[in-house]
Amino acid sequence: MIQVLMIIGTRPEVIKCFPVMEALRADGNFEVTVVFTGQHKELLSMMVDDLNVKNHTNLNIFQEGQSLSSITCRSLEALDTMEEFQNKHFDYCLVQGDTTTVFAGALWAFYNKIPVGHIEAGLRSGNLWSPYPEEANRKMVSVIADYHFAPTEEARNNLLKEGINKDRIFVTGNTVIDALRLSLRDGYRFQSPDLQNMSDRPKVLLTAHRRENQEDLEDIFRAVLDSVKDRDVEVIFPMHPTPRVRNVAKKVFNHTNVRTMEPLCYHDMVHLLQRVECVVTDSGGLQEEAPGFGKPVLVIRKETERPEGIRAGTCKLVGTDYDTIRKNLEELLDHGPLYQSMTKAVNPYGDGYAAQRITKILKGE
């Protein structure tokens, strides 16, 4: 049996690793050990339950007010002291994306001479400080990794420019499209009480959580609010647990056209995406997921490490400026030329079978 260790820390990692877990276990040639660091607490537990992730260990490193340094140190120490690892040989360690857990997990595997496979490798914004610390995490993991599972040709080219051996780079598509394919259900009923018995009013999905946007949240939220407050449109805002996000949301969103709520489970989010008019977000995953349903995405960031969506026309980079966000969101809500072009653009992130490709590569096929 081929022994595979998967180290996961946050909600997005669970979503994007789940199809790989399922594909490896279904193949029959792999024994998969899943370890959660617990970098995210409530959001991670929600995803584990929602996706019914079996046979996993949680290191529970989360602490209130945790720093990036403490996440890294506690992850390394907790992995070092796991009894299940004593005298066990792993053929591969898989990590996904760009979080501090991803960097710490790859570093731990390197220290223990375990070949590292990086799922969603090669994304670059070109600015080491944005997204922070994700851009640096990705670049450091690329130095450590033995197998680079790039979601697109552009990601592959980024790795080639950095001197990565072409024979170690594999364009697989993005596993988040696999997750969408696996999660769609006919006749789905929302689990969150906030989404049950929803009206037929047009809806905008808003998410915001990134560190680099924390000081601009009030401008972002006011732009969204002012775009919809005189329209028959409803904003759905699942609030990230970050206190700063919640405090600003409570200050700004005092209008009946904005519904704030607790974070949604993955299946609720997928089926909500099918129903909204458009998405306003700083999330990386939503830049990939929403276009799968033909939903325009306004990216409230100054740079993105997912330029394929911008070029394909599925996403538009609008920054954090009040006037720019409001102008573009109003144009989408008016179903103008921007809306028409974005809904017809083709999602560049794959066909939903990236996990099967990764499985074949790990078998040497």
List, by residue number, the catalytic residues: 98, 120, 134, 209, 211, 240
Q: Which letter does DSSP use for residue 276 in this model?
A: -
Decide: 13 and 41 in contact? Cβ < 8 Å: no
- DSSP letter at 347 equals P
| DSSP result, 164-204 | --GGGEEE---HHHHHHHHH--TT---SSTTTTT--SS-EE
**Cα dihedral 280, 283, 289, 295 in deg (nearest 10):** 10
32's tokens: 């998969």
In sequence order, the 6+-apart residues with CB closer than 8 A to the CB of 178 are 19, 350, 352, 353, 354, 355
In terms of phi and psi (left: phi > 0; alpha: psi -120 to 50; beta: otherwise), the region of 124 is beta
Sheet of 234-238, strands arranged across: 258-261, 234-238, 203-207, 278-281, 297-299, 315-317
Distance CA 70, CA 16 (A): 25
What backbone torsions phi and psi does residue 40 show, to the nearest 5 degrees? -95, 145
